[in-house]
Homo-oligomer: A and B are copies of this chain.
Amino acid sequence: MQESTSKTKYVLLGVLSRGPQTGYSIKKAIEYEYSHFWQESFGQIYPTLKFLVKEGFAESTESQDQKNGRGQIAYQITEAGKIELKKWLREAPTIEKLRYEILLKVSFGASCETDAVVGHLDEFIKRNQLLIEEVDGFLDYFKRINKDEERHIDSELTALCGKYIYTAMRDWAVESKRIIEERKVEEHETKNS
């Protein structure tokens, strides 16, 4: 894990930098705040937490005294952990490798019925529309609480990213659908002329 390219380590440090958490609550936090743009599984989280302790980037406190279920292990970031996180934050982010399966299906669409592709696009548009509305709800909420309490900038920026990306995907799908249906008409006209 020394020279790995995995970011799990830094994501955990980032979440822990806001306050102590258990492995379980870290998972929930990532799901809640980042799920659309980042994901981590327990299979990654628990071993990485142990690694962080081993390297001195975090400390663990076991406690059996709570009401719910078995004993839990709370982790908190150390000074060394904060330095390690800061070091990573200063480095230029790597260029992301995106994979849009729907783009492939639309692109290879000539090999199946137009209706199937259009159906996928319709579903895609619907899904992105829902996500946009969901994110708008968040953004409204942030706008309201920002007046009183301190701003939750990190969550706001994540939600904003969602808004832009989902809108882009929706609009792309709408225009793609238009282009595909336009071609269908063109082909029909060619046949009948």
**Interface, chain A (partner B; CB < 8 A):** 7, 10-11, 14, 17, 33-34, 36-39, 82, 85-86, 88-90, 92-113, 116-117, 120, 123-124, 127, 151, 153-158, 160-161, 164-165, 167-169, 171-172, 175-176, 179-180, 183
Q: Out of B88, B108, B112, B168, which one reaches A167, CB within 8 Å? A: B168
Contact B89 A158 (CB under 8 A): no
What chain B residues lie within 8 Å of A99 (beta carbons)?
37-39, 96
Q: Is the CB of A86 within 8 A of B107?
A: no
Q: How many copies does the complex hold?
A: 2
Whether the Cβ atoms of B103 and A161 lie closer than 8 Å is yes
> Assuming A117-B89, A151-B183, A168-B164, is B157 touching A106 (CB within 8 A)?
yes
Can you identify 8 A-B contacts, CB atoms within 8 angstroms? A17-B111, A33-B107, A37-B99, A85-B112, A93-B104, A93-B105, A151-B183, A164-B168
- Across the interface, name the chain B residue whose C-beta is closest to A186: B151
Closest B residue to A11 using CB positions: B104
- Establish whether residues A107 and B157, one from each chain, have CB atoms under 8 Å apart when the complex forms: yes
